[in-house]
Amino acid sequence: MTRARQITAALAGDGSGRPGLIAYLTGGYPDERRFRKYFLQIAAACDLVEVGIPFSDPMADGLTIQNASEVALKNGATLKRILQWLAELTPQTRTPVVLMSYLNPLLAYGYARLARDALKAGVSGFIVPDLPVEEAAPLGSALSESGLALIQLVTPLTSPERLALLCAKSSGFVYAVTHAGTTGGKQALPADCVDYLGKVRAQSQLPVYAGFGIKSAADVAMLAGHVDGVVVGSALIDALDEGLDPGEFLAGLRR
Amino acid sequence: MKQTAPETPGERPGMPDSNGRYGDFGGRFVPEILMPAIAHLEDGVRRILPSADFIEEFQRELRDWAGRPTALTLAPGLGRQWGAEVWLKREDLAHTGAHKINNAIGQVLLARRLQAKRVVAETGAGQHGVATAAACARAGLPCTVYMGSVDIRRQAPNVARMKIFGAEVIAVDSGAATLRAAIDEAMRDWVCNPVDTYYLLGSVVGPHPYPYLVRELQSVIGREARRQLLEISGALPDIAVACVGGGSNAIGLFHEFLEDESVRLVGVEAGGTGSQPGEHAATLARGKPGVLHGCYSFLLQDGDGQVMETHSVSAGLDYPGVGPEHSMLKNKGRVEYIAVSDREALKALGECCRSEGILPALESAHALAGAQRLAKEQPGAKILICLSGRGDKDLDTLMSIDDGGFLA
């Protein structure tokens, strides 16, 4: 089974109807020691871990992840180091891992080397928020040769034709952005987003996970049944910053 | 000088391909949420820009509101000192004091035809912000301008002008709090408001179609200058020089001369205080290709692909990226790119003030300093310089440097 198929299997659900959970953590946040600890705690409490590669100009991210990226970079996190840490961490968990990275750090690393080192580090796929499908072929083919997923994002503004294209091009799962905005934020999820999520789910052969602005058990309950699962990022980092136990915080979202 | 109508935009040589690529460079590297907005804009650019109705209104606004064509001025004092024949294309005389108005009014007219409800923009030196605020005031569109807090301090007069025109100016504190951070934040605003908001990008950077759109609107500079120089002096220049931050005034000047093989084209970047990372903004001279703000182009970055901080005394050149068409022109060897230091730019600025009675912007002073260096290489050369803006906005900076002593 390829790494991409392992993602799909891990996110397909256990038939109980309980929503799946992807947890996001910025790699190297707040520093190497605590990242290692948090990673294992988080991996034990979710279905897939999304590790963010910090970038100097995160244009799709809100304040929480902007700040986390800045702190992680200041404390020495790089793509190379994060892959080295993950090579030691992933054997300690069965939860698959994907990387979320803006394109430039991946370009600088080199795609062939990236695919090779990602495999070694136990990484299963990539989410690249500034890489629309029109520009994705070079990275996509380097990853698919190694069986790694390149996960596509869809949004409420995506046209039906484009939704079909993006769902067909995605591998691993389909990441459905809940609303027009950056990650995190305090505002409530738009009530009509469940209609759009239903359309994504009808189109996709892969599990559909909703992300951006999901912060509470109420949010998760609202989306449950309309998607296969949810992605929680900024809210988890805020919880870590408040000193909460990440495992308990994540468990609370599905309670 | 004969006053003729400014020239029109239209299909020009060097169109990018359908993915917005100039050779390897360009493209559109933006979040999926912006793809419909990009497609809408691209469709507008294709449909509206060549339409007779748009061209008529754009020309009229350039002429009657923005004061075009701008003058072409012989600079005998600089010429004597440098041992060259120096001509200045006077974008400082355009309304709001810089070439930025060409792009701002053109895009505002486009935004109105695309039914935008609101305009957002970034600004570095504040000239693009002022031009956008003025154009939005004229068009009756609400306007929000993002500006780094460092730039707000060093370009205070422009902040006041934007506010007087009714724009909301939002200070950006992230990163180095300069132009790059302002673009980051303007793009985030667009990500949050992708339907009714028009992002009025100020340079030939960003995702396709901006590098093409801004070039089309700015290429009036080179069309006028080439025609004026031929009319007045009967010959093309030996060298055409412009400063390059993102590179809009430079593309605007160079484009009309690309096929004139006898004309040497030189872009001048900000060499800052030194060649170490963080001391300069010489992207084409010292960077390598990467993706920032939606396009693949030369970029000042570290080995891990993180974008580096830059320095320039000039806020408008203080940017780690550059337009993709410049990257292509560099690789093709058609345009040479050099860097001059803060000190050289300040010295040239002082000389221009004293011998021509013209206070150029710190950005434009880089073009002057570059031209001065080229005059040494090519004595007697006929040099056309884009004097992209006026320096009133820089008075605080100028007076704080060596108590104005560099001027003496």
Res B403: pLDDT? 63
* Mean pLDDT, range A78-104, rounded to an integer: 98
A83 against B407, higher pLDDT: A83
Whether the ω angle into residue B209 lies within 30 degrees of 0, i.e. cis, is: yes
Residue B22 falls inside a structural domain: no
pLDDT tens string B142-164: 999 999 999 999 889 999 999 99
A20 and A11 in contact (C-beta within 8 Å)? yes
- Per-residue pLDDT for B39 more than 60? yes
Res B5: pLDDT? 41
Of B33, B304, B307, the CB nearest to A157: B33
pLDDT tens string A92-120: 999 999 999 999 999 999 999 999 999 99
Return the structure tokens found at B342: 């803060």
Of B192, B195, B301, the CB nearest to A108: B301
Return the structure tokens found at A156: 């409420």
Subunit contact B187:A59, Cβ cutoff 8 A: yes
Q: Which residue has the tokens 């005389």?
A: B93
For chain A, the structural domain boundaries read 3-8+19-253
Alpha carbon distance, N-terminus to C-terminus of chain A: 32
Gap between the Cα atoms of B348 and B241, Å rounded: 14
Res B7: pLDDT? 43
Whether B177 and B261 map to the same domain: the answer is no
- Per-residue pLDDT for A233 more than 90? yes
Whether B254 and B341 map to the same domain: the answer is yes
Residues in chain B: 408
Domain count, chain B: 2
Gap between the Cα atoms of B59 and B402, Å rounded: 43
Residue B13 pLDDT grade (very low, low, confident, very high; cuts 50, 70, 90): low
Res A192: pLDDT? 87
CB environment B310-331: b (16+ within 10 A), e (fewer): bbbbbbbbbbbbbbbbbbbbbb
Task: Say if B187 is an interface residue toward chain A (CB within 8 Å).
Answer: yes
Residue B253 falls inside a structural domain: yes
Subunit contact A158:B291, Cβ cutoff 8 A: no
**The domain boundary residue, chosen from B183, B215, B247:** B215
B54 and B109 in contact (C-beta within 8 Å)? yes
Residue A203 pLDDT grade (very low, low, confident, very high; cuts 50, 70, 90): very high
B163 and B153 in contact (C-beta within 8 Å)? no
pLDDT tens string B222-268: 999 999 999 999 999 999 999 999 999 999 999 999 999 999 999 99
pLDDT tens string A209-222: 999 999 999 999 99
Return the structure tokens found at B266: 């030189």
Boundaries of domain holding B164: 31-66+100-215
Residue B335 falls inside a structural domain: yes
Task: Say if A52 is an interface residue toward chain B (CB within 8 Å).
Answer: no
Whether B243 and B160 map to the same domain: the answer is no
pLDDT tens string B362-397: 999 999 999 999 999 999 999 999 999 999 999 988
B335 and B265 in contact (C-beta within 8 Å)? yes
**At B38, phi and psi to the nearest 5?**
-65, -40
Of A73, A158, A180, the CB nearest to B193: A180
Q: Quick check: is A32 catalytic?
A: no
- Per-residue pLDDT for B173 more than 90? yes
Gap between the Cα atoms of A251 and B18, Å rounded: 48
Residue B24 falls inside a structural domain: no
Q: Quick check: is A61 catalytic?
A: yes
Task: Say if A68 is an interface residue toward chain B (CB within 8 Å).
Answer: no
Min Cα distance B223 → chain A (Å) is 34
Whether B283 and B333 map to the same domain: the answer is yes
Res B405: pLDDT? 64
Which superfamily is assigned to A3-8+19-253 in CATH?
A: Aldolase class I (3.20.20.70)
Whether B400 and B255 map to the same domain: the answer is yes
Residue A187 pLDDT grade (very low, low, confident, very high; cuts 50, 70, 90): confident
Task: Say if A76 is an interface residue toward chain B (CB within 8 Å).
Answer: no
- Per-residue pLDDT for A66 more than 50? yes
- Per-residue pLDDT for B278 more than 90? yes
Whether B193 and B240 map to the same domain: the answer is no
Residue B1 falls inside a structural domain: no
Return the structure tokens found at A155: 């949004």
**The domain boundary residue, chosen from B155, B183, B215:** B215
Residue B11 pLDDT grade (very low, low, confident, very high; cuts 50, 70, 90): very low
